């Protein structure tokens, strides 16, 4: 009989909400290897890249694993150990420990950047995803039983899309590897620009306020409008004004908050948030309350929608014109608002960014407050430079 002191002690947490808001309070619960976890707990996953050599470190799980035997996955993953005063720093410490134990790759917590985190119902876990940079020329020392030695190692990123198509990957990691492969040249910049996101909970004050407000009044249908707002244009404004005709409050979710200064996401979360606030003030939008908070990219659409639902306790009505997004919402039992009509071809963030970069007239597509804010803070130059 296995003694409790030799078992892995899971860091069991009360909810996804507590982690989103930066509360890492946990209790130790023993678990035998191979047992399906019964309670919500924390795990880590590290995606390791050598940007200079354009290589990625992929692990193939041992064929003796109880879950996904022989599947390809991240560079290393494992459970977070329960302890008092746990923080993101402690989670990073466990992530580098797993990387060392499984791959023989020694990094420090400071070498990791939090990319995102999410609830995965398959294992009843909240998984912290980290991006790491390492030297692919350094030798690995693979764990004798945890990994399949033949399939594990550094791989050329240009072959990764083909491998993702032809070989079995753990579902939750496929989208992240696909993103990394498609943006391999941006990895150094992404790594650098992820630094503010290491204190992500500082951005979720409005979520805390909204949940308190909605719970007290038992509100179940707050309008929820999500976009990347790169930049905030007149199409966005028209949608919010339409919502305000029938509602006195709304949530504005800013997508891809962890990314900035790239071609697709040139502006930071705080720049976008401030721009939206200035537009709402200047346009006198008839909302008594507007809560603004991040909606992080997970690079897995099904998990993303589930986590959005859990984040807001399914107390919302989602407004989206995208039929695919609406379908995902229906599958999760999220209420849907009517489609919002505006000229998508004209009012399109990708098109507007291209116009700014090419010097074509674009000012007629944005609210005056957006234009003033971007000019006053040098954000037009950021958009041009990031292209």
Minimal CA–CA distance to 381: which of 360, 357, 349, 365?
357
Both 243 and 290 in one domain: the answer is yes
Helix (H) or strand (E) holding 215, with range, is helix 205-217
Among 134, 163, 198, which residue terminates a domain? 198
Pick the closest to residue 332 from 353, 356, 301 (CA basis).
301
Name residue, tokens 């006195």. 248
Claim to verify: residue 280 and residue 332 sit in the same structural domain: yes
Q: In total, how many domains does the chain have?
A: 2
C-alpha 149/C-alpha 197 separation (Å) is 34
Contact by Cβ (8 Å): 276, 233: no
Q: Final residue of a domain: which of 198, 223, 247?
A: 198
pLDDT at residue 323, as a whole number: 87
Q: What is the pLDDT of residue 341?
A: 78
The CATH number for 379's domain is: 3.40.50.620
Question: What pLDDT does 324 receive?
Answer: 87
Q: Are residues 13 and 151 in the same domain?
A: yes
pLDDT of amino acid 218: 98
Among candidate residues 383, 242, 210, the one with its CA nearest the CA of residue 311:
210
DSSP assignment, residue 6? G
Query: What is the structure's pLDDT at 35?
Result: 62
Q: Give phi and psi for 200, each to the nearest 5.
A: -55, -35
- pLDDT at position 343 is 84
Instruction: Identify whether residues 211 and 103 lie together within a single domain.
Output: no
Assess whether 146 and 176 both reside in one domain: yes
| Residue with token string 């989103």 | 20
Question: Which of 133, 115, 275 is CA-nearest to residue 266?
Answer: 275
pLDDT in tens, the chain (387 residues): 233 344 579 999 999 999 999 999 999 999 776 666 789 999 999 999 999 999 999 999 999 998 999 999 999 999 999 999 999 999 999 999 999 999 999 999 999 999 999 999 999 999 999 999 999 999 999 999 999 999 999 999 999 999 999 999 999 999 999 999 999 999 999 999 999 999 999 999 999 999 999 999 999 999 999 999 999 999 999 999 999 999 999 999 999 999 999 999 999 999 999 999 999 999 988 889 999 999 999 999 999 999 999 999 999 999 988 888 899 999 999 999 998 877 888 999 999 999 999 999 999 999 999 999 999 999 999 999 998
pLDDT score recorded for residue 6: 42
Do residues 331 and 184 both lie within one domain?
A: no
Residue 261 gets which letter from DSSP?
S
Range of the domain at 314: 204-386
191 and 246 both lie in a single domain: no
Q: Do 59 and 156 fall within a single domain?
A: yes
Q: Are residues 245 and 367 in the same domain?
A: yes
Same domain, 158 and 288: no
pTM of the model: 0.94
CATH number at 93 reads 3.90.79.10
Among 198, 230, 252, residue at a domain's last position:
198
pLDDT at 34: 63
Considering the domain architecture, whether residues 167 and 211 belong to the same structural domain is answered as no
Q: Based on the domain organization, do 99 and 241 belong to the same domain? A: no
């Amino acid at each position: 009989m296995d003694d409790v002191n030799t078992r892995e002690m899971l860091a069991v947490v009360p909810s996804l909400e507590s982690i989103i808001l930066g509360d890492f309070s946990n209790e130790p619960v023993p678990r035998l290897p191979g047992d399906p976890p019964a309670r919500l707990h924390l795990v880590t996953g590290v995606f390791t890249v050598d940007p200079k050599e354009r290589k990625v470190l992929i692990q193939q799980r041992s064929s003796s694993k109880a879950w996904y035997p022989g599947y390809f996955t991240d560079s290393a993953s494992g459970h977070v150990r329960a302890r008092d005063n746990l923080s993101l720093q402690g989670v990073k410490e466990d992530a580098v420990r797993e990387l060392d134990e499984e791959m023989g790759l020694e990094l420090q917590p400071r070498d990791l950047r939090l990319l995102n985190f999410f609830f995965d119902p398959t294992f009843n876990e909240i998984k912290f995803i980290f991006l790491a940079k390492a030297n692919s020329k350094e030798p690995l020392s693979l764990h004798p039983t945890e990994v399949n030695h033949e399939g594990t190692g550094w791989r050329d990123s240009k072959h990764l899309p083909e491998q993702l198509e032809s070989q079995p990957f753990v579902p939750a990691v496929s989208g992240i590897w696909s993103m990394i492969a498609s943006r391999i040249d941006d990895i150094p910049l992404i790594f650098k620009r992820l630094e503010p996101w290491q204190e992500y909970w500082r951005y979720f004050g409005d979520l805390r306020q909204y949940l308190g407000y909605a719970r007290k009044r038992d509100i179940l249908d707050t309008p929820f409008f999500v976009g990347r707002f790169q930049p905030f244009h007149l199409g966005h404004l028209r949608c919010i004004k339409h919502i305000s005709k029938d509602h006195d409050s709304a949530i504005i979710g800013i997508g891809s908050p962890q990314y900035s200064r790239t071609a697709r996401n040139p502006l930071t979360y705080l720049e976008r948030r401030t721009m939206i606030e200035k537009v709402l003030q200047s346009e006198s939008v008839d909302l008594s309350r507007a809560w603004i908070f991040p909606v992080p990219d997970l690079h897995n659409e099904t998990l993303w929608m589930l986590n959005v639902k859990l984040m807001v306790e399914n107390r919302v009505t989602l407004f989206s014109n995208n039929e695919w997004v609406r379908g995902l919402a229906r599958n999760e039992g999220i209420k849907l608002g009517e489609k919002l009509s505006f000229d998508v071809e004209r009012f399109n963030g990708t098109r507007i960014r291209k116009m700014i970069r090419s010097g074509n007239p674009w000012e007629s597509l944005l609210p005056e407050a957006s234009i003033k804010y971007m000019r006053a803070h040098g954000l037009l130059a950021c958009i041009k430079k990031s292209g």
